[in-house]
Amino acid sequence: MAIDVVWFKRDLRTRDHVPLLSAILSGRPVLCLFMLEPDRFKQKDTDPIHVNWELDCAIDLSKTLEKSGSSLHFQIGDPVKILEKINNDHDIMRILSHEETGNSWSYSRDKKVLKWCNSKKIEWTEYPNNGVIRRLENRDLWKRERDSRMRIPLNETPTFSKSIIFEGKIPNMGDLNLTPRNLVSRPKPGEDAALRRLDIFLNEDSKKYSWAISSPILSTKHGSVLSPYFTAGVISVRRVVQETTSKINYIRKNRLFIDDYSDWIQSLISFRRRLAWRCHFIQKLEMESNLDLIAQNPAIEEILDRKLDFEKFTRWKEGKTGWPFFDACMRQLTSTGWINFRMRAMMMSAASYNLWLPWRDTGIFLAKQFLDYEPGIHWSQVGMQSGTTGINTIRAYSMTKQGRDHDPKGEYIRKWVPELSMVPTDFIHEPWQMPVSLQELICCRIGIEYPEPIVNELVSRKNGISKTYSARNGEDARRISKKVLQMHGSRSKSRRNIKKNESSIQKKLF
């Protein structure tokens, strides 16, 4: 009897999984497939931490599938060859998966699989993922369609009646010849862990969301930190949107009994808006699949003419810039695999405006540090924060100001930059101002135990901003910016107003 294959990609869950449900409803035996593709491991933006995270989430998925009467087939190799073998053994009727919006490599991999399916007359049905819409030409109807998708009812883990059971060995990282770096405080993998985090966030931690998310310290508790779970697809955006809306309605109904209910509601609304940003940014890559390779506005990119200065790049990557708060953030990121939005933006801004480094190199390095690497969000944000889209406000952060705002006493700096652990609070944000006698006394000599600032922060930032603004003014740059706006710009009036307000607030804060 012919079978249906459910191809799990970055959607490693059983709940709210339409391809899985549809395969079960067909009545045919179902084979659940997860492929580890060595070709992908060689891609510049893939890091062993990504593969390790996905593998651990897939192992968790396999346990849930077993409880529901099925199992997950772990296969290592080229997808076309793997599918060919399955087809020879079982006769595939249909392949079902979610649409994937990945980098240039996954896009061309999918084209090869489609070609193979066509040659074998096998139907490959791809179901919409989140709020990303395929074959959209512009954004006119995007928001309406995305919001209506978010209202589709959710389904829980289905039960299998007929299933092809996996009898092979579940691989480990050694079998893949990959050695991931050890991440400090990595979240627990899998669907149940994601649901637990969502529960704690919605019922407790989100109360201070709006107030806390700009801080690298507070955001680890009061931010949702759901991004690694979204990336592996162990929880759907739709579920989180619906549960957030239910929570907002609950608080509204019970407001008389809830302290600070209004702040809490505002926090949850702001969180829900960011869930829409997720779809909005991934939609950009869906519509322009080479955002990871080519700047949205190549005319600006050409004029900026950023070159890779190896020494600056190395000091930026290693968190040895001599800017204490920046170094602390970079070291938090490399050891935990996560940092909040504002600090990611600050990292790109330091690289692009102060150090004048090319976005692709710095973007690849950051992609490999993020456990939640999501190409659609990542490359759109890298473009925005490096000033190469032509349509976004130029956001160049002062590292010293960010440090004073978010770590006034320097505790965070001392934790992540132990060389500075003895520096008194008065000097913690500008240790180069310490008298030499003090530097010697506390064994923190600037230029020896801790570096001098890599460049003058204020002067380099001003230069960077002014060069970027003038690059935007060229005729070609303006013409392309118009096209970028037409294709990717948000059509939501309210969002434009929010953005306007937020950017004027940010201008003040930088």
Q: Does 344 bind ligand FAD (CB under 6 A)?
A: yes
**Beta carbons within 8 Å of 505's beta carbon, 6+ residues apart:** none
Tell me 319's DSSP state: T
Query: Using CB under 6 A, which of the segments 59-67, 138-146, 269-277, 453-461 binds ligand FAD?
Result: 269-277
Stretch that binds ligand FAD, among 86-94, 260-268, 336-344, 480-488 (CB under 6 A): 336-344
The strands making up 30-36's β-sheet, listed across from edge to edge, are 72-76, 30-36, 3-8, 92-98, 123-127
* Binding residue for ligand FAD, selected from 191, 372, 419, 457, defined by CB under 6 A: 372
Intra-chain end-to-end CA distance of the chain, in Å: 64
Distances (CA, A) of 350 to 110, 329, 341: 36, 12, 14
Alpha helices in 417-492 (DSSP H): 436-441, 457-472, 475-488
Choice from 278, 284, 461, 472 touching ligand FAD (CB under 6 A) = 278
Size of the site for ligand FAD (CB under 6 A): 28
Q: Which of 46, 381, 392, 402 binds ligand FAD (CB under 6 A)?
A: 381
Q: Provide the minimum distance between the beta carbon of 328 and ligand FAD in the complex, in angstroms, as a whole number.
A: 17
Residue 7 lies near ligand FAD (rule: CB under 6 A): no
How far is CA 504 from its chain centroid? 25
In order, the DSSP letters of 337-388 are S---HHHHHHHHHIIIIIS---HHHHHHHHHHH-TT--HHHHHHHHHHHTT-
- Residue number with CB closer to ligand FAD (109 or 344): 344
Q: What is the identity of the amino acid at 12? A: L
Euclidean distance between CA atoms 97 and 83, whole angstroms: 13
**CB of 102 vs ligand FAD, minimal distance in Å:** 12
382: contact with ligand FAD by CB under 6 A: yes
User: Crossing angle of helices 310-318/324-336, nearest 10°?
Assistant: 70
Closest approach, Cβ 196 to ligand FAD, in A, equals: 15
Q: Which is nearer to ligand FAD, 320 or 395 (CB)?
A: 395
Of 275 and 295, the one with the shorter C-beta distance to ligand FAD is 275
Site for ligand FAD (CB under 6 A): which residue of 105, 316, 370, 416? 370
Minimum distance from CB of 376 to ligand FAD (Å)? 8
Instruction: Provide the minimum distance between the beta carbon of 190 and ligand FAD in the complex, in angstroms, as a whole number.
Output: 17
Smallest CA-to-CA distance from 340 within 412, 264, 414, 247 is with 412
Over the range 265-303, which residues count as b (16 or more CB within 10 Å of their CB) and which as e? bebbeebbeebbebbbbbbbbbbebebbeebbbebbbeb
Q: 351 vs 428, which CB is nearer to ligand FAD?
A: 351
24 binds ligand FAD (CB under 6 A): no
Assigned token pair, 253: 């109904």
Contact 199, 229 (CB under 8 A): no
**Is residue 224 a contact point for ligand FAD (CB under 6 A)?**
yes
54 makes contact with ligand FAD (CB under 6 A): no
CB 381 within 8 A of CB 298: no
Nearer to ligand FAD, 317 or 344 (CB): 344
Contact 327, 347 (CB under 8 A): no
Check residue 352 for interaction with ligand FAD (CB under 6 A).
no
Does position 70 interact with ligand FAD (CB under 6 A)? The reply is no
The answer to whether 301 contacts ligand FAD (rule: CB under 6 A) is no
Short-list 400, 381, 176, 396, CA closest to 291: 381
User: Using the rule CB under 6 A, is 103 a contact of ligand FAD?
Assistant: no
Nearest-angstrom CA–CA distance, 396 and 392? 12
Angle at 497 between CA 282 and CA 289, to 5 degrees: 15
Of 14 and 224, the one with the shorter C-beta distance to ligand FAD is 224
CB of 101 to ligand FAD, least distance (A): 12
CA dist., res. 438 & res. 436, Å (int): 5
> Which two tokens mark 187?
């979240």
Among 130, 227, 332, 468, indicate the residue that binds ligand FAD (CB under 6 A). Answer: 227
Q: Residues 157, 163, 169, 174: is their CA dihedral positive or negative? A: negative
Is position 223 an interface residue for ligand FAD (rule: CB under 6 A)? yes
C-alpha closest to that of 52 among 502, 424, 290, 60: 60
The answer to the question of residue 399 lying near ligand FAD (CB under 6 A) is no
Measure the CA dihedral 83/87/89/93, to 10°.
130
- Give CA angle at 332 (205, 177), nearest 5°: 110
Among 226, 285, 304, 484, binds ligand FAD (CB under 6 A): 226
User: Does 274 participate in binding ligand FAD (rule CB under 6 A)?
Assistant: yes
Cβ at position 229, least distance to ligand FAD in Å: 8
* Among the listed residues 385, 392, 402, 439, the single contact to ligand FAD using CB under 6 A: 385
206 is a contact residue toward ligand FAD (CB under 6 A)? no
Choose which of 277, 336, 400, 506 interacts with ligand FAD (CB under 6 A).
Answer: 277
Nearest CB to ligand FAD, comparing residues 25 and 154: 154
Q: Which of 195, 198, 235, 275 binds ligand FAD (CB under 6 A)?
A: 275
Q: Does 316 bind ligand FAD (CB under 6 A)?
A: no
Among 105, 142, 160, 230, binds ligand FAD (CB under 6 A): 230
Using CB under 6 A, list all residues that contact ligand FAD: 213, 223-227, 230-231, 271, 274-275, 277-278, 281, 340-341, 344-345, 348, 370, 372-374, 377-378, 381-382, 385
